[in-house]
Structure 1
Amino acid sequence: MKFPVKLALGSLCALLFIVLVGFVMFPKIIKGKIKTMVNLKPGNEIRDMFLKVPFPLSFNVYIFTVLNPDEIHAGAIPRLKEVGPFCYNEWKTKINVEDNEQDDTISYEPVDTFVKTNGHDCKDGDTEITVPHPMILGLVNTVFRQKPGALTLANKAIKSIWSSPSSIFITVKARELLFDGIVIHCGVTDFAGKAICANLKAEPSLIHLNDNDLGFSLLGPKNGTAGKRIIAFRGTKDYHLVGKIVTYDGKPKQEVWNSSTCDAIMGTDGTIFPPMLKKQDGLMSFAPDLCRSLRATFQKHDRYDDIPVGVYSASLGDQSKNLEEKCFCTTPDTCLKKGLMDLYKCVKIPLYASLPHFYDSHESYLKGVKGLQPDEKKHGIKIMFEATSGSPVWARKRLMFSMPMEPNPKVDLFHNFTPTVFPIFWVEEGVDLNNTYTKPLKDLFLIKKIVAVMKYLVLLGSLGGLAVSGYLFYKTQEKFSVSTVKPVASDYSNNDSIGSVSNGNNYNGIENETYEKY
């Protein structure tokens, strides 16, 4: 077998091999391996991490202290100063876990536990801050919405329970406001005070310190307390469904917003996502604290610890303009402007959620207070997501909580307020995967990179081999040539000559002796 033929056969075999293995089989092997790794079947490492995240998330709290409380009572615009961060480690676990093999689901109750930590930028929990009393402001706003006729009763109860306060603002330690609790003295005997305290004692978010006193904190009720039960797909039968919530609190949809669109429970709980998502799919998760699902949308490609990732961001939308978000409005005529969401139907008190410092919100909210400086890098929601494995490798989830402050002639402390949305505090939940958890991803991409380089080198080499063999085969083809026959001069006078001419006829060159034989 000639060399060009051998080269052509070898190149063709290499071409077929690399197409079959490098372009067909290897991606399927990687896909199959990931499918078996990311499901929540017992025994899988990802399940153990899902049930108990092996590292704490960072949880930072920032509180807005009021600089001009007396002026606000006289009608001035609030001047605020951000104090923080107050730093905590957030440990996420899931308890009372049960599996349903037939439905391929797992059920659990999520628990978040916060542990104070100190860093060089972290503020001490004994730092004093001045804020609107959340209970007084929340009480008046709630009564105003539910039973406006009972505002006079609420005014009397405030004087009774809080001993005729001269200001709606209180100065407390940060740890008391956040976790330890602010004391509410409910050992009152007057009708108004007892009526309000009876309702407060039935509120599960308040701590019963003793028979008469209650404790209120912003985050204390959430600390170490099991959330409502969730049933989610394990993804062993269909990896596209891994982590997707089936029911929350025993229901396939909420009963909060009276709308199938806004009450829908979509996505995961945010601790896991399906692998091999396309960027147009976005990242969908359900936020119980907001009673809604949020979609993070793709923004750009980037790298994290040398891993290619997609950058995603989320917002609270604009219920005043987006028809699909109108169902989040308290009433069709009371939609908040861009960037704000009224949580009244969700948490039963007038509480507004937004991005910190009113970032990506209507400018009117920012003008209602002084001292805020919205910044995308500091206040936006951002996720770096590795789509092949479905892993968030870096994330910052940020939310600010505010309360409406409006004048009310039936409540003594509320006579002269200028209407505004008053920021109270904001939180930042963060995760940064270190090399221990990014190394498997980096190894995966290294293998993919090596295979990609090799398969294209082999592909180019095999195509080049086919081209060279074709060229050589063409050059070595046998070529046939015809030689010119030249006449040989003869001596016709010689009797022994052959081919004499007689009478104009040609005779073959046969010697006379041979001729005479015939």
Structure 2
Amino acid sequence: MQLPMKLGIGGGIMFSISVFFLFIAFPKILKSQIHKASALIPGSEMRNLWADLPIPLDFRIFLFNITNAEAIAQGENPIVKEVGPFFYDEYKQKVDLVDREEDDTLEYSLKTTWKFNAAKSNGLTGEEEIVFPHLLMLGIIMGTLKEKPTAMGLVGKAINSIFQKPESIFIKAKVKDILFDGLPIDCTVTDFAGSAVCTILKEQAADLVNDGENKYLFSFFGGDEHEIFVEFEPMTGTPVSARKRLQFNIFIQPIDKLKLMKNFPYALLPLLWVEEGILLEGDFIKQLKSVFTVLKVVAAFKYIFLFGGLGMCGAAGYLQYRKRVSNTMEVTKMPENGSKPSTRDGDDEKKEWPLNVQTLQGAAVPANLD
């Protein structure tokens, strides 16, 4: 087999492998394998990893300390000062998993645990005291104003009963009590207004933590755990870094039937903001890097085979062309006057034959030549 043909066949094979396997088939195979590996099959490594992530998320909290609480009661706009970050390691665990084969979904409850990280809190401990609105008290007031404003007089009496006649809706408390440990709520009251509101709180306030008979603790994050019921459909993809920020605010306004807020301004009161995020590192990054290394190698071979095949086909074509040119007839260059010398055998007389197109194509030669 001649060299041009060998090059042509080899180049065609390389080009075909590049186009049909590396460009078309391989991405489909890879996608199928990723989808298969990420399926949340009971007992699989991926499901165990998804249900109980072994690394914590970063959870930073910044609170707004009220610096002019008394002035707000007289109608001035709030002035706040940011305090933070209070850094927590956040662990998320999915429990009570239920597979639903009929629609290929998964139902679960989400349990979240926070552990204070003093090393990343810039010297803060959670023991710091700040002036902050009593969230349960303010929530009861603003909820009543929105849903049933005619009951505001009754709610005012309940506030005085449950919270022992507070002088303000703002309290001075430790950050850890506001966020997690909880502020005391006394539902041992026996008056009609207080008992009525406490009954509603027991039925609807899921964030209350029992602290004795008819005594509770209320915090922003509601005790030890939160539960969320969702529908989940498995998706492929791995976030290397992710961040989510969320700020909590509450509207305040003057309420004529409530002495504590009678002269309040119309304002948006900032409470706190949180940032939740994750940055994969260690073994997780090594696994990702190994996958991307394979992808880079495949990508390199893809273009090597593509351009290598095209190059070999081009070389085969060039060699074949050179071979054809070398096998063509050589044409002698004629004199500039366009004539070609010719002689008869045995005769010293020379005769010039005109050179024209017909001559090159086959001019007639005299029949009688000695």
TM range (shorter): 0.7 to 0.9
- Equivalent positions of 1:242-391 (< 5 A) are 242=234, 274-275=235-236, 390-391=237-238
Q: In the alignment, what sits opposite 2:351? A: none
1:487 aligns with 2:343: yes
Q: In the alignment, what sits opposite 2:202? A: 201
Identity %: 37
Q: In the alignment, what sits opposite 1:371? A: none
Give the Å deviation of 1:150. 1.6
Give the Å deviation of 1:182. 0.5
Give the Å deviation of 1:71. 1.1
SS in 2 for 1:91: strand
Question: Residue type of the partner of 1:163?
Answer: Q
Distance in 1 between the 2:120 and 2:210 partners? Answer: 35
- Residues 41, 426 of structure 1: CA spacing in aligned structure 2 closer, same or farther, 3 A cutoff? same
Give the Å deviation of 1:143. 1.6
RMSD: 2.4
1:126 aligns with 2:91: no
SS in 2 for 1:210: coil
- For residues 285-325 of structure 1, give each alpha carbon's deviation from its aligned partner in whole angstroms, at most 9, with x where no partner exists: xxxxxxxxxxxxxxxxxxxxxxxxxxxxxxxxxxxxxxxxx
- Equivalent positions of 1:23-34 (< 5 A) are 23-34=23-34
Distance in 2 between the 1:463 and 1:217 partners? Answer: 70
Q: In the alignment, what sits opposite 2:21? A: 21
Give the Å deviation of 1:98. 3.0
1:12 aligns with 2:8: no
Within the candidate set 277, 285, 291, 1:444 is matched to: 291
Within the candidate set 245, 248, 266, 1:419 is matched to: 266
Tell me the TM-score normalised to structure 2 length. 0.85
SS in 2 for 1:391: coil
- Residues 421, 228 of structure 1: CA spacing in aligned structure 2 closer, same or farther, 3 A cutoff? same
Q: In the alignment, what sits opposite 1:301? A: none
Within the candidate set 210, 213, 223, 1:211 is matched to: 213
- Residues 192, 487 of structure 1: CA spacing in aligned structure 2 closer, same or farther, 3 A cutoff? same
Distance in 2 between the 1:141 and 1:506 partners? Answer: 128
- Residues 218, 446 of structure 1: CA spacing in aligned structure 2 closer, same or farther, 3 A cutoff? same
The answer (yes or no) to whether the contact 2:109–2:229 under 8 Å persists in 1 is: yes
Give the Å deviation of 1:183. 0.7
Give the Å deviation of 1:29. 2.2
The answer (yes or no) to whether the contact 1:129–1:173 under 8 Å persists in 2 is: yes
Question: Residue type of the partner of 1:49?
Answer: L
Q: In the alignment, what sits opposite 2:51? A: 51
Distance in 1 between the 2:341 and 2:29 partners? Answer: 71
Question: Residue type of the partner of 1:24?
Answer: I
- For residues 241-300 of structure 1, give each alpha carbon's deviation from its aligned partner in whole angstroms, at most 9, with x where no partner exists: x2xxxxxxxxxxxxxxxxxxxxxxxxxxxxxxx23xxxxxxxxxxxxxxxxxxxxxxxxx
Question: Residue type of the partner of 2:248?
Answer: F
The answer (yes or no) to whether the contact 2:87–2:120 under 8 Å persists in 1 is: no
- Residues 201, 85 of structure 1: CA spacing in aligned structure 2 closer, same or farther, 3 A cutoff? same
Higher helix fraction (1 or 2): 2
Distance in 1 between the 2:97 and 2:302 partners? Answer: 45
1:85 aligns with 2:117: no
Give the Å deviation of 1:82. 1.0
Question: Residue type of the partner of 1:48?
Answer: N
Distance in 1 between the 2:153 and 2:367 partners? Answer: 149
Instruction: List alignment gaps of at least 5 residues for structure 2.
Output: 333-339, 349-365
SS in 1 for 2:256: coil
| Structure of greater relative contact order (alpha carbons < 8 Å, 6+ residues apart) | 2
Distance in 1 between the 2:280 and 2:2 partners? Answer: 58
Q: In the alignment, what sits opposite 2:40? A: 40
Question: Residue type of the partner of 1:155?
Answer: G
Instruction: List alignment gaps of at least 5 residues for structure 1.
Output: 234-241, 243-273, 276-389, 493-504, 510-518
The answer (yes or no) to whether the contact 1:152–1:411 under 8 Å persists in 2 is: yes
The answer (yes or no) to whether the contact 1:92–1:110 under 8 Å persists in 2 is: yes
- For residues 223-250 of structure 1, give each alpha carbon's deviation from its aligned partner in whole angstroms, at most 9, with x where no partner exists: 334x2443434xxxxxxxx2xxxxxxxx
The answer (yes or no) to whether the contact 1:201–1:214 under 8 Å persists in 2 is: no
Q: In the alignment, what sits opposite 1:180? A: 181
The answer (yes or no) to whether the contact 1:75–1:417 under 8 Å persists in 2 is: yes
Distance in 2 between the 1:419 and 1:482 partners? Answer: 104
- For residues 27-78 of structure 1, give each alpha carbon's deviation from its aligned partner in whole angstroms, at most 9, with x where no partner exists: 1221121121111112432211111111111112211110111111111111
Give the Å deviation of 1:220. 2.6
